[in-house]
A and B are shown apart, each in its own frame.
Chain A
Amino acid sequence: MHVPDGFIDAPVSAAAGAVAAGAVAVSLRGARRELGERAAPLAGLVAAFVFAAQMLNFPVAAGTSGHLLGGALATILVGPYTGVLCVTVVLLVQGLLFADGGLTALGVNITNMAVVTTVVAYAVCRGLVRVLPRTRRSVTVSAFAAALLSVPAAAAAFTCFYAVGGTTDVPVGQVLTAMVGVHVLIGVGEAAITALTVGAVLAVRPDLVYGARDLTAPLRLCVGGEPADAPPSPTLDLARAGGAPTPALTPRSPRKVLLAGLAISLLLAGVVSFYASAAPDGLEKAAADEGIEAGAGEHGAAGSPLADYGVRGITDGRLSGGLAGVIGVGLTVAAGTGVLCTVRIVRTVRGRRAGEPSPAATGSPAPRTPRDV
């Protein structure tokens, strides 16, 4: 997906360059904060790994093969800041040395492939790790979902650039359909390989997987088989909030409810819509009967790839509807998690300002609105 010169016009390329420079500056600061002076050798070696892993060919079938893109993998393994830096450096070297991707399009390429991929993958992975049970398998599952969504997200970001600064007048909906359609397929392969690789690393060095760093139990000093120190705090929320006092009772986690809700919605969206009737729903039927529909314009998002609850490019109507449902649920959950996290952060900050223990600091999970149930 390396964009060549001349694909995006000069002003938009410059704007993308500014965005990329800002993101890289933020990541430089973040990586320095996380890794300190170890940043250069570690990020350099991980970039070399990404570069080498892109050369590893995965046979698909009948002689064709694909390879890893590596953005999501790097993020889950070493964290978002270092991940952005690694992919940026790989793109920079590819552009300068191997002429892969245009130099004026470097900003577009970095924004798409280093920033969007990484941010989406990290958000999805963290959100899922937090919701799913605290096991190794759930990290692998989150890695799968993160990689699966990150690739089409990068394709969608490219389409945005193309819509604003494309040099040819191609209908944007068509570009989006083609790009996202192809990249969903690529994303499936990427997701499988990323999940398998993360699983392999987890089995040997779970401490190296940044996305699973909450899952490692805190180390305890034992003398003669007996713990020598005070029992460590039961949840990690406490450790992160700076050692707040342990509450006597931890309320039951809403995790099971949330998981059940997610499973049911996915089931409904993916499987039941497979068999759902294509008859218009109540309002649409009423509108048609009353003749209101003639005045109704096409919806603004009618050109979107999910318009009318179907993924374009997939001819089987049922399969397409089911897929669209699953994607829709995924997007809704991602958006909801984002909103919840923001609300929680705002509350924590306000609570600290007011001098009272915030909901996050007392160990009880912030009240969550039940969704998808």
Chain B
Amino acid sequence: MAAPLTENQATGVIGFWPWFFQRISGLLLIALLAVHIWMGHFSGLRAVIEGSQEELVLYSIVQQRLAQGLFVFVDFSLLGLVLYHGLNGMRNILLEWPAAARRAQAMTLGLWVLGAATFVYGAWALLAFIL
């Protein structure tokens, strides 16, 4: 088993910009998720309880929401920011593992590829509501 890294070595491999953008994306996600969760779980609550709407989330409801440019912007921003924030968080955890820290570049590239592929997949799904 390889010798563990010192704390200094570990924070060194995280890098300034990933650290900085983790905080920026986190702050943006607080605002966007508040909107997202409100729209998904609570805005239609009265209509569902009163019986004028069958469920909180159905195809037609999402489609109507995504007919507004604002929500297209919100959803695509969410998809990108949450993938960045989540995978960057995973990177921070993985970098504590000396074997991964030694291959930090390859691992970072792998996470970017995973994130980009998931973004394309998620965008493809969203487009079904928009086009």
Asked whether A and B interact, the reply is no
Interface residues in chain B, defined as those with a beta carbon under 8 Å from any beta carbon in chain A: none
